[in-house]
Amino acid sequence: MQIVKLPAGEPAPPDTDCIRIQERKDGQFLLEGSVLFRCGDIDSAESVSLVGGDPYPSYDDAEAAGLAWADDHCVETLHLARSAGTQPLPDAA
């Protein structure tokens, strides 16, 4: 898999396979992704998204999980985006 690491704050181009890592104010990292599933002998690709989930303790952990997820979906070229700044923590219920 070819990995295109984008500068912090630069979004992935539209219609590309990508993962995005967002740092939270507590120092943990969220992972989101959108890829076209292309494994096996298929006639057309199917869009698959990764949204939500537990935060990762480090950027490297989030990146490794995102790369493994993309690899499981047979991605050929993956854009890796990292947000600039931190995301506020969700309000406690």
Q: pLDDT, tens digit, for every residue of 31-73?
A: 999 998 878 766 667 888 998 889 999 999 999 999 999 999 9
Percent of the chain whose pLDDT exceeds 70: 86
Radius of gyration of the chain (CA): 14
Q: How far apart are CA 4 and CA 85, in angstroms?
A: 20
Q: Which token pair is 79?
A: 């854009």
Q: What is the full DSSP assignment across 7-62?
A: PTTPPPPTTS-EEEEEEETTS-EEEEEEEEE--SS-SS-EEEEE---PPBSSHHHH
Model confidence, pTM: 0.84
Give the other-Cβ count within 10 Å of 63's Cβ: 19
